[in-house]
Chains A and B, each alone.
Chain A
Amino acid sequence: MKTQMNIRSLINRDNNIVQLLVMTVLIFAVMTALSPDKFLRYYNFESITYIFPELGLLSIAMMIAMLTGGIDLSVVGVANLSGILAGVLFHKMAGAAGIADAGILTVLLGGVIALGTGLAAGTVNGLLITRLGITPILATLGTGQVFTGLAIVLTGGPAIVGFPTAWAFLGNGKILGLATPFVLFAVIAVLIAFVLSRTALGINLMLIGTNPKAALFAGLKRERMVLYSYMLTGVLASVAGIILSGRTNAAKSDYGTSYLLQAVLIAVLGGTNPAGGRGTVLGITIAVAALMLLSSGFQILRFSNHLIDFIWGAFLLLVIAINAYKNRTR
């Protein structure tokens, strides 16, 4: 009885979630109908659980930046730079034993460096936006370029290949039969959902995004909250970078460039208002799942990656149109 009430209140609170679920089921059904023997294989879903977390974390990061009406175009740059810095460290510290057998301390240090990179990058973004008053679009466009540029300077262009086994476990291992990145994603998603809905930071961010002026008059520390939100965004991006470098056993300055568009698309699709004030982790999660099903389905149908890019773009515009239409009738 009680759970029923909860579901009802969930539906009432946000029918966007219901709409998303319907869409996901629809995509699932269509893809199943188009190629039932290949799409429904266990292997297909398992591989989705490995790829999904990177994009999911970047999308959550994008959503947090959008909560205050901003955007973070540097997430992919931060992710790659984090992976590369950790990779450089591993190559420097690798002794005669080789990189693969690097000790747990080395791996931990690598993790600290990667996360620290994300935190530092997010802090730079946040300070540029709050202290210098640069619009988030241009600030993060610029820093994204700097981060990618530093990644090129560090590697000279080619990928850094070879990560410790323990590091790779984060990207392609298994915990209790589930993909490690997926478990990581689940833990982080719950954590972020909690932060956004139950802590002062989350509530403040929503209020600032809904009405910046009112938030200012109500005495909210806007600058500090926005700074924190970009720091959080940076850290999430670096976690995505860790998973990406662990999964592919390599780090490169131009990995995952198409993730940027996809993260924006997922954030918007997941019910985030790019003008600020609205966005949920649950919405993002369902949206990522839906789009992962979509793109794996198209891959099975042997669509080229370029065509899938085309479809993502078209989907984004379609979602914009639908959202605008919905808001008008309301």
Chain B
Amino acid sequence: MALLRRSETVIAGILLLAMVLIGTINPAFWQLDNLFSLMRSNVIIGIMAMGVLLVLISGGIDVSFPAFAVAAMYLTIKGMLALGYNGVVLPLLAATLMGLAFGAVNGFFVYKFRMIPLIVTLGTSAMVRGFLLGVVGTSMININKMPTALIDFARTDVVSVTKADGTTYGLTAMVLIYLGLALAMHLVLRYTMIGRSAYALGGDPEAARRAGFDLRKTIFFIYCVAGALAGFAGLLHSGMIWLANPRDFVGLELDVIAAVVLGGASIFGGRGSVLGTMLGVFMLVMVKNSLIIMRVDTTWQLVVVGLIVIAATALSAWRDRRRAA
């Protein structure tokens, strides 16, 4: 009974229902290569969603992470090209640190000036994107110039299958990175003091302060981690699509926030889980990708995502109000 009442169970149920529905409309949905490509599409949004989950749990909101992701990605690749460096670990580390530094700016403004996170992150987002496109450059770095090590790394498959016609497809190993990061986030949220303090901050900042939580440390941690995850995901993304586009990720913030809210995180803070978020991410990616195989015109994508956001937030608001009553 307790299991039934958990929001994760509900989301999983809806997810299964949606899968059956899509599978009935077009059986191609259940083909292994479609499922593999679905999981592949989960990776980048999923990693970013972990950061957004943390921010939402603390009662904040972050719309700057796509800008951070694209800046960390583009700057790192530009740097690699300039230095003639070809590798995986150091660039990923550099992108992560860059994201972290950007995130620290958010943390600084949110903590120091007690400003609404939405407005702060709108500002940092505009600054970072403006700087990237206005100073660093607007040209794409194509496959012929992309560092080969990154592409080879992102091309690793866990399993690979050969189809009857000789083409092969596989499940990208990047899924493992996503799962690893998700597990880490789960452990941090559940079992560490800093993770609990994020929940406390989201539940009631004043109560958290009086209970002795260090709000400064918590806020900086939250926004730094969100930025770091975005930076990491950004570089990984360019490896996976073999392209570094400084105009990438526009509008991605809505998709990710929608996924996290869909996964049961409360928009008022204090509630949310990694498992729910992963389910929410899967649901969103699945619906978006399946519009094509359900033969819905792609121009409807934005409308569908918007409606999902509204429905998910309405449900979560309704749930939270009922709980409060």
* A122-146 at interface with B (beta carbon < 8 Å): 128, 132-135, 137-139, 141-146
Q: A152-B302, A309-B129 are in contact. Are A275 and B317 (CB under 8 A)?
A: no
Q: List 11 A-B contacts (CB under 8 A).
A: A71-B118, A133-B318, A137-B118, A141-B257, A145-B302, A261-B123, A274-B115, A306-B134, A307-B130, A310-B126, A317-B123
- Tell whether, in the assembled complex, residue B302 and residue A149 are in contact, meaning their CB atoms are under 8 Å apart: yes
CA distance A157 to B300 in the complex (A): 11
Is the Cβ of A312 less than 8 Å from the Cβ of B126? yes
Contact of A139 among B254, B310, B321 (CB under 8 A): B310
Q: Which residue of B lies closest to A305 (CB)?
A: B134
Asked if A153 and B300 sit within 8 Å, CB to CB, the answer is: yes
Q: Which residues of A contact B309 (CB under 8 A)?
A: 138, 141-142, 145
Asked if A150 CB lies within 8 Å of chain B CBs, one says yes
Residues of chain B contacted by A323 (CB below 8 angstroms): 113
Contact check, B317 vs A135: say whether CB atoms are below 8 A apart. yes
Complex Cα gap A71–B117 (Å): 13
Contacts of B177 in A (CB 8 A): none
- Residues of chain A with a CB closer than 8 A to B140's CB: none
B112, B113, B305 pick with most chain A CB within 10 angstroms: B113
- The binding surface of chain B is classed by DSSP as helix
Partner of A128, one of B116, B133, B314: B314
Task: Report B128-145 residues with CB < 8 Å from chain A CB.
Answer: 128-135, 138
Chain B residues with CB under 8 Å of A313's CB are 122-128, 130
Closest 3 pairs between A and B when the two form their complex, measured CB to CB: A310-B130, A149-B302, A313-B126
Q: Is there a chain B Cβ closer than 8 Å to A311's Cβ?
A: yes
Contact of B306 among A132, A143, A304 (CB under 8 A): A143
**A133: which of B119, B125, B307, B317 is its contact (CB, 8 Å)?**
B317
Chain B interface size, under 10 / 10 to 19 / 20 to 34 / 35 or more: 35 or more
Q: Tell me if B306 and A144 are in contact (CB < 8 A).
A: yes
Query: Could you tell me the distance in whole angstroms from the C-beta of B325 to the nearest C-beta in chain A?
Result: 11
- Quick check: A138 and B130 within 8 Å, CB to CB? no
Mostly helix, strand, loop or mixed at chain A's interface?
helix
B36 in contact (CB, < 8 A): no
Interface members, chain B 284-319 (any A CB < 8 Å): 297, 299-307, 309-310, 313-314, 317-318
Q: Give Cα distance in the complex from A274 to B115, angstroms.
A: 9
Residues in chain A near residue B120, CB distance under 8 A: 317, 320
Are A321's CB and B113's CB within 8 A?
Answer: yes
Residues of A within 8 A of B (CB): 71, 128, 132-135, 137-139, 141-150, 152-153, 156-157, 258, 261, 264-265, 268, 274-275, 303-314, 316-317, 320-321, 323-324
Closest to B311 in A: A142
B114 within 8 A of A: yes
Do residues B123 and A274 form an inter-chain contact, with CB atoms below 8 A? no
CA distance A270 to B321 in the complex (A): 34
A162 to B205, CA, bound (A): 53
Residues of B within 8 A of A265 (CB): 123
Q: Which of B112, B115, B268, B321 has the most CB of A within 10 A?
A: B115
Q: Check if B279 is an interface residue, CB within 8 A of chain A.
A: no
Partner of B130, one of A145, A150, A153, A306: A306
Q: Which residues of chain B come closer than 8 Å to A261, judged between CB atoms?
A: 122-123, 125-126
User: B299: which A residues are within 8 A, CB to CB?
Assistant: 149, 152-153, 156-157
Name the residue of chain A whose CB is nearest to the CB of B125: A313
The answer for the CA separation of A147 and B310 in the assembled complex, in Å, is 12
Contact at A135–B313, with CB atoms within 8 Å? Answer: yes
